[in-house]
Chain A
Amino acid sequence: MSNFSYDYFHEDEKKFIQACAEFNSTISLRKERKQVLKIVMDENISFYSENSSTGEIVNFVFNEKYFDGLLRKYISPEEVRKMIRSLFE
């Protein structure tokens, strides 16, 4: 188990970290070129894929709101959107 503690972070920072983790998971899923079901609902972009070894459905929900909410403090909304788009292309 990781010793990493989230206790030092504010609630919105925790959500942002979670969004980053989901971003990375999604990229991994796409790199594996699995068949992915993508559902877009407002700021939530969900990915569903079947784990070929276990047969379980793997699910990642990328919450754009948390992701770009804090990121916008440092780069422009256009850059954030480009970054998110690059995830799907």
Chain B
Amino acid sequence: MNNIKEYSSIFATKLAYIVDKYLGLNESGIISSVSSITTEKETTAKNWLFNGKIPRENKRLTIADRLGISYDYLFNDEIPISELKKPEVFIADGHYYIPQLPDLDIKGIKKADVLPIQGRVPVMLPSFDKIISKYGRNIYATQLKISSFAPYIDNGATVICSEKLIIEEYKFLLFQSSSGLTIKRIVNTGEKLQLLEVVNGEEKINNLESLDEALLVILSFSF
């Protein structure tokens, strides 16, 4: 961490560090790279990097998302540069904005230091505070093109899932297979908790396998 180049503010130093180390500089240098990644003008990027300017509040979340880091990491100067945090649930005005990952890569999420995202799903549920205190803020949204667990979770349903796994009966888990995302359910077979999956309409029950590459489905919604 000693050879991190310092810029005009802690925000600017973090910004340049993420672009340089994780996202890659383009041939034209740091100003052009920051401009390209954040889709802001080069003069704006230059002001951030060299003149101590900080983005306006209404642009901050988008900038953090494009960089693939959390709002808190980028704009809270008390968080050290070395303590990278991926995008998290963002709470504002009674809404919970969930990072959206159209092409969910479960292995990639778990390994990633930075995770650029293109958008967020707004959720307004009174109980979401409890969800966050139970599962943490590493929660993501994706759309399930084909659900192996219809009609509980339908084809095309939006699925909100967490990195933190809490193994309880009735919960759904999301796995990645060669054919895409697969839903399995934790069921109580009388003696122990096992995994139920539906393959070609047939129910199969297996022991709880390695869950290192699974996400926990907190909720799903569909119309």
B-binding residues in A (CB < 8 A)? 35-43, 45, 64-65, 77-78, 81, 85, 88-89
Contacts and interface: CB of A to CB of B under 8 A. Distances in A.
Interface of B: 151-154, 157, 168-172, 187, 189, 203, 218-223
A38 B221 contact: yes
Contact of A41 (B169, B187, B203, B218): B218
Given A40-B152, A88-B151, A81 B203 contact: yes
B187 A40 contact: no
A54 to B, nearest CB: 21
A85 B221 contact: no
B151 A42 contact: no
Contacts of B221: 37-40
Contacts of A41: 218-220
Given A37-B223, A42-B171, A85 B152 contact: yes
21 contacts: A37-B223, A38-B154, A38-B221, A38-B222, A38-B223, A39-B220, A40-B153, A40-B157, A40-B172, A40-B219, A40-B220, A41-B219, A41-B220, A42-B168, A45-B152, A77-B189, A78-B203, A81-B203, A85-B151, A85-B152, A88-B152
Contacts of A85: 151-152
B96 to A, nearest CB: 14
Contacts of B152: 40, 45, 85, 88
